[in-house]
Amino acid sequence: MRNKSSYRLSDIIGIGDLMELTDEAKAFLERTGETSLGTQKSVKQIFQLTECSDNQLNAPSYRGSSGMFYVTQSSCEIVDELGRPNLWGKCHRQIWYSKNGYEREPIDSIGLRRMSYGVYIEDALQDNWKKGGIYVQNNIKIRAHEYNVSGEIDAIVFDHEANHPVIVEVKSGYGYTFNKNVFGKSNHLYQSGFPHTDYIMQVMWYLHLRKPIEKIHGDSPYALLYYIDRSDCRDKQFAIELSDGYTGRPIVMNNYGIEITPNPAYKIDNRACVRDVEIRPVQGITMERIIERFKELAVKLESDEPPEREFYLRYPDEMAEDMFETGILSRSKWNEHQKDKSAPVGDWKCLYCSFSASCYPEGVDTDLSADKKLANRLVRLTTEEGEQYIQTGKLPVVA
C-alpha cells in the first residue's frame, strides 16, 4: 500500500476526468510522466457497467398507446379536511401538454433508477407470494371502453381464511414526507398514516371494474394498497372498499377493518395550528365524480389552448399565511415564502411537473388572472358550505 506522499496526480483525477482536461494540462501530465496519450500507464481496462446501465436507462423506448386514458390520470375536485376547495390527482393542463407533444424536462439517471425500483420490488413480492401459496395472478390489464380508460392491476392474492381473492396495488417510497403520509410520523391529521390520494383513486377504478375478475376468481370485496419503505424495508397496508360496492366514495381502512378518519383533535395535537379549524372527512370524492372529470378532460383535449391551471407554483400570500397558521405549511417553507418573493413555495405537483416551464413561463410572476377556479382555493368552507360547493361547483355568496 502506498504512503500518502507517493500518490500521483493522475491516480486522484481518474481516467474520465483526465480525458476532459485541456490540451495544456494533458501536456503537463505527459511531461511529468504521469500519463501516456491521455491515459494512466498502469491502469487495467475495466468494464464500465455503471455507464452502460445509465445509458440503457436513458435509451429511447417506444410504448404503444391504446388511445385510452390511464387510471393513473384520475382526478377529482374535493373539499379537503380543513374546508379548502382542492384537487385530488392529475392536473388536466399537464395532460394537455403531454398530449400535444410539449417538451418535457429531462429526468436524470438517478431519477430513472429510482422509478425502476418499484418494478424490482413488485417482482420480488410476487415471487414471495408464490412461495407462500397466496399468489393468483399479476399485471392484470383492464379496459373500460365506456369510459375510454385503461389500467393494470399489480397483483391478485388469495385470502384462504376468508376464501376470497384480494386485489393488490404495490407502492414504494422513502424520506420524511413518505414516512409522514404513510406511517403517520409527525402527522397530526392522520396519526396512523393515510394513503396517497392519487393511489386511492387508482384503486377505486380497480374496484369499480372488478366484475370480470370476480367471475373468474370469486367475490373480491376490497383491495389492498401495499407500501414498502425503500430506506428501511418496513411495509404497511391499507384496505379500500367503495361505499356502494362498485361505486360511491372510498372507505379507507386499517388492518382491523376500521375506517381511517381525520383527527378531530387536530388543533389540540398540532401546536403549529393557531387558527380555528373545523376538521371533517374529505368531501366530494366519489367514483362518479372521477368519471365526470375524465369526460371533462376529453373535451379539454380537443381545444387548441391549454385548460386552466389547477395548482400553484407559488401560493398567494394570504393562502400561504392561512396554511402556515393552520399547521399545513411548515415553518421553514413559510420563512422561505416570506423572505424570497421569487421562491416557488407552492404545490409539489407544480414543483415536480415536467411541463412547469411551459405552464409558468414567467415563473412565479406568471399572470394567473384567467385561472378562475384556482382562486377557489383561497377560501375555507364550513361543512355545509363544502357540500354546497360540491353540488354546484360554486362558492357560497357572501352577504
What was the pLDDT predicted at 297?
97
Contact indicator for 244, 207 with CB cutoff of 8 Å: no
What was the pLDDT predicted at 18?
46
Quote the DSSP letter at residue 273.
B
- 285: number of Cβ within 10 Å: 23
User: Does the pLDDT of residue 365 top 90, yes or no?
Assistant: yes
**Percent of residues, the chain, with pLDDT higher than 70:** 89
What was the pLDDT predicted at 284?
98
What is the average pLDDT across 99-105?
90
Written as one string, the DSSP assignment of 265-330 is THHHH-TTB-S-----PPBS--HHHHHHHHHHHHHHTTSSS-----S-SS--HHHHHHHHHBTSS-
CA 319 to chain centre: 23
Q: How confident is the model at residue 51 (pLDDT cuts 50, 70, 90)?
A: confident
Check residues 67 and 186 and name the one with the higher pLDDT: 186
What is the average pLDDT across 180-204?
97
Structure confidence by residue, pLDDT tens digits, 277-335: 999 999 999 999 999 999 999 999 999 999 999 999 999 999 999 999 999 999 999 99
What is the average pLDDT across 37-51?
70
What was the pLDDT predicted at 63?
59
User: Does the pLDDT of residue 39 top 80, yes or no?
Assistant: no
> What angle (nearest 5°) sits at the alpha carbon of residue 103, between those of residues 100 and 105?
135
Q: How confident is the model at residue 112 (pLDDT cuts 50, 70, 90)?
A: confident
User: Does the pLDDT of residue 54 top 70, yes or no?
Assistant: yes
Q: Which amino acid is at 110?
A: I
Contact indicator for 227, 239 with CB cutoff of 8 Å: no
What are the extents of the domains in the chain? 7-41, 70-309+374-392
What was the pLDDT predicted at 38?
47
What was the pLDDT predicted at 204?
98
What was the pLDDT predicted at 210?
97
Check residues 25 and 292 and name the one with the higher pLDDT: 292
What was the pLDDT predicted at 26?
74
What was the pLDDT predicted at 250?
98
List, in order, residues 6 or more apart from 100 with CB less than 8 Å away.
Answer: 306
What was the pLDDT predicted at 7?
44
User: Does the pLDDT of residue 236 top 90, yes or no?
Assistant: yes
Q: How confident is the model at residue 24 (pLDDT cuts 50, 70, 90)?
A: confident
| Cell numbers representing residue 378 in the block | 383561497
Between helix 331-339 and helix 317-325 the angle, nearest 10°, is 160
What is the average pLDDT across 95-117?
88
Q: How confident is the model at residue 2 (pLDDT cuts 50, 70, 90)?
A: very low
User: Does the pLDDT of residue 58 top 50, yes or no?
Assistant: yes
What is the average pLDDT across 209-217?
95
**Furthest C-alpha separation in the chain:** 86
What was the pLDDT predicted at 3?
47
User: Does the pLDDT of residue 190 top 60, yes or no?
Assistant: yes
> What angle (nearest 5°) sits at the alpha carbon of residue 140, between those of residues 137 and 141?
170
| Cell numbers representing residue 178 in the block | 413518505
User: Does the pLDDT of residue 36 top 60, yes or no?
Assistant: no
Check residues 71 and 10 and name the one with the higher pLDDT: 71
Quote the DSSP letter at residue 50.
H
What was the pLDDT predicted at 25?
76
Between helix 109-131 and helix 49-57 the angle, nearest 10°, is 90
Contact indicator for 201, 74 with CB cutoff of 8 Å: yes
Q: How confident is the model at residue 234 (pLDDT cuts 50, 70, 90)?
A: very high
Single pTM value for the model: 0.86
